């Protein structure tokens, strides 16, 4: 590499990635710079999916190169490579899945499932391979939210299941296996076993992220899952309401107890804007999610509105990110998704897949 290429590489590496607020060199994102007769070809590899940001990142890089002695950029190639990151304790990784994101709430009714499905769809729109597991045995809602409530997973060997597909997501739920009106009158151990079967007996196909819609609460089921499922990090969903925040704090503490990093907090139903007059009102209070983040030193991922479209589109089986991908609400979900992905990308890598298994044979 010539000196001029080295200088250009150093200049581009010093640029601040707007998604991480850190220089590109920190993540070794600028992979190659080829310079010939004042024309450059630049290769960038991000550690997180951000397809919606590629054009802006390319423009940023081109402008910086042009400012360096008028270098013309013929091509900026931007791609993403998501790798497996460290999970809690010595829990074994899940075959076919690089990273697991647990979406949790301390209580029901705060829009956790709606946030989960839109987060998964947003990650997929940004270019990742994504799956979703509905872990709410008592109240599975993802089948309806994904518009495939009548479908059933198939098995080729009688032991494992192929996940269903909807809106580009791989999905599984107890809701696919039972009558929608059948109550699950099961005790904790049975629920835990069912969830483990759904998780480990599903043949997930090369997922960058598996997003788990956790059951609400912080009881035995949630704790057992947190201890046995290889979770990369957790997202806490709450509303600004004080009662919801009390329970959300318990959920955060549960993940801390088992060594699962908190990727951040999402404040749902943050504000309501009247569809008739445009009046904005904080029905459930204001600033609660951000205050909780400040108390515990965790990232604030973003605030989502209380909007009738989110409810109606999700009920109809086409969540907002899929129904109106160009809308402001969908963009808010994608922003949250990128923050979650960046938070994962900056965590320690799981190196167990890098080393061969050593077997000692006694002769």
Of the pLDDT bands very low, low, confident and very high (cuts 50, 70, 90), residue 66 is: confident
**Number of Cβ atoms within 10 Å of the Cβ of 325:** 15
The pair of three-digit structure tokens given for residue 70, joined into one six-digit string: 């008028």
107 labelled ligand-binding:
yes
111 labelled ligand-binding:
yes
109 labelled ligand-binding:
yes
113 labelled ligand-binding:
yes
pLDDT tens-digit profile of 223-239? 887 888 999 999 999 99
4 labelled ligand-binding:
no
For the cut 60, the answer to whether the pLDDT of residue 355 exceeds it is: no
Q: What domains are there in the chain, each with its CATH number?
A: 3-80 (3.30.300.130), 97-345 (3.40.50.300)
86 labelled ligand-binding:
no
pLDDT tens-digit profile of 268-289? 999 988 878 878 888 888 888 9
Average model confidence (pLDDT) across the chain: 90
108 labelled ligand-binding:
yes
For residue 73, the number of C-alpha atoms closer than 13 Å in the C-beta half-sphere is 21
What pLDDT does residue 262 have?
Answer: 95
DSSP helix/strand/coil, 154: strand
Put the strands of the sheet holding 39-46 in their side by side order.
Answer: 30-36, 39-46, 72-80
Distances (CA, A) of 100 to 122, 213, 260, 262, 299: 15, 11, 11, 12, 18
Distances (CA, A) of 334 to 37, 46, 171, 329: 39, 16, 20, 9
- pTM for this prediction: 0.91
The pair of three-digit structure tokens given for residue 321, joined into one six-digit string: 């990110």
């Amino acid at each position: 590499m010539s000196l001029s290429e080295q200088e250009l590489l150093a200049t581009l590496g010093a640029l601040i990635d707007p998604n991480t607020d850190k220089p590109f060199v920190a993540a070794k994102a600028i992979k190659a710079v080829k310079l010939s007769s004042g024309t450059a070809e630049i290769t960038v590899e991000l550690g997180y999916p951000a397809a919606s940001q590629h054009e802006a990142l390319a423009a940023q890089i081109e402008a910086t190169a042009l400012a360096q002695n008028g270098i013309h950029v013929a091509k900026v190639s931007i791609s993403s490579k998501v790798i497996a990151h460290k999970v809690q304790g010595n829990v074994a990784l899940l075959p076919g899945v690089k990273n697991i994101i647990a979406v949790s709430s301390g209580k029901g009714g705060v829009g956790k499932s709606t946030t989960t499905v839109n987060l998964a769809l947003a990650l997929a729109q940004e270019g990742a391979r994504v799956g979703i597991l509905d872990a709410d045995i008592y109240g599975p809602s993802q089948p309806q939210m994904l518009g495939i409530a009548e479908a059933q997973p198939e098995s080729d060997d009688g032991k494992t299941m192929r996940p269903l597909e909807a809106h580009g997501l791989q999905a599984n739920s107890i809701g696919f296996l039972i009558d929608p009106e059948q109550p699950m009158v099961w005790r904790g151990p049975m629920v835990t076993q069912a969830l483990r079967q759904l998780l480990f007996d599903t043949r997930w196909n090369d997922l960058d992220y598996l997003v788990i819609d956790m059951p609400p609460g912080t009881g035995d089921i949630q704790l057992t899952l947190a201890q046995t499922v290889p979770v990369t990090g957790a997202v806490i969903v709450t509303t600004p309401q004080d009662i919801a925040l009390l329970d959300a704090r318990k959920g955060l503490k549960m993940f801390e107890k088992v060594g699962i990093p908190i990727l951040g907090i999402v404040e749902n139903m943050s504000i309501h804007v009247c569809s008739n007059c445009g009046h904005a009102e904080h029905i459930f209070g204001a600033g609660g999610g951000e205050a909780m983040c400040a108390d515990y030193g965790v990232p604030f991922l973003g605030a989502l509105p209380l909007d009738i479209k989110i409810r109606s589109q999700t009920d109809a089986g086409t969540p907002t990110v899929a129904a109106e991908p160009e809308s402001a609400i969908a963009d808010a979900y994608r922003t949250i998704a990128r923050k979650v992905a960046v938070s994962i990308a900056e965590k320690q890598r799981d190196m167990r897949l890098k080393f061969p298994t050593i077997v000692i044979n006694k002769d």
